[in-house]
A and B are shown apart, each in its own frame.
Chain A
Amino acid sequence: AQKVTQAQTEISVVEKEDVTLDCVYETRDTTYYLFWYKQPPSGELVFLIRRNSFDEQNEISGRYSWNFQKSTSSFNFTITASQVVDSAVYFCALSGSSNTGKLIFGQGTTLQVKP
């Protein structure tokens, strides 16, 4: 069975703090893809990153960074020097076993960044 767990339901930080959002996944597939999406209050899910199971290099994009560790089945997301505009719900997702387009979403983490 495939599953994505985002144990942190809500996180509240003050602007300029660093924050890490956790994502743990379960799959029996050897080839799989992981995604992070951001959903601001406006509603649209914004694609942030895709990572395949064979690439364990960490990735950095501006203030965002991702740490993928197969040994612990985790794909964590860190925002450095958080800003109020980072306030949103963040979803981690795993691609389904077959090429159906199905995504297995975690329950999401609501991040509130206070000024």
Chain B
Amino acid sequence: DTEVTQTPKHLVMGMTNKKSLKCEQHMGHRAMYWYKQKAKKPPELMFVYSYEKLSINESVPSRFSPECPNSSLLNLHLHALQPEDSALYLCASSQGTGRASEQYFGPGTRLTVT
């Protein structure tokens, strides 16, 4: 089973709202990722968790707050977002963070900030 699930599929939120994106995998992977993807662009890495610890933060604004409650779950908490944060947010997982590890992606959450 190479499935990564994400909820919700679509999210519309105002700039003062607080919301969370959720990601789950049951492949026993120990690395999980958040990406942001704008239309007609490649995914941009935001965060990497390795063994439930944050290993990479790509200088992401603090209005995005990741959380890894356990090895299967990854959350992204959103607060005081800007309209330019509207994008497709993709979660991915891999066995580890080694160079050979292929990443498996979820279907994404399409976020619109109004």
Residues of A with Cβ closer than 8 Å to B?
A: 31-33, 35, 37, 42-47, 50, 52, 91, 95-96, 99-103, 105-108, 110
Contacts and interface: CB of A to CB of B under 8 A. Distances in A.
Given A44-B106, A46-B105, A101-B94, 15 more contacts: A32-B99, A42-B107, A43-B90, A44-B90, A45-B43, A47-B103, A50-B100, A91-B43, A95-B99, A99-B99, A100-B56, A102-B45, A103-B45, A103-B103, A106-B42
Contacts of A35: 102
B50 interface: yes
A37 B105 CA distance: 10
Interface residues of B, number: 30
A99 B30 CA distance: 13
Nearest to B56: A100
Interface in B73-114: 88, 90, 92, 94, 96-108, 110
A99 B97 contact: yes
B87 to A, nearest CB: 11
Nearest to A32: B99
Interface of B: 2, 31, 33, 40-43, 45, 48, 50, 55-56, 88, 90, 92, 94, 96-108, 110
Contact of A95 (B31, B100, B107, B110): B100
Contacts of B108: 43-44
Contacts of B106: 44
Contacts of A106: 42
Tell which of B97, B99, B108 has the most Cβ of chain A within 10 Å.
B99
A41 B28 CA distance: 28
Contacts of B40: 108, 110
Nearest first, the 4 closest Cβ-Cβ pairs linking A and B are A101-B97, A105-B42, A95-B99, A45-B105
Contacts of A50: 100, 102
Given A44-B108, A45-B105, A108-B42, A101 B90 contact: no
A43 B88 contact: yes
Tell which of A44, A47, A101 has the most Cβ of chain B within 10 Å.
A101
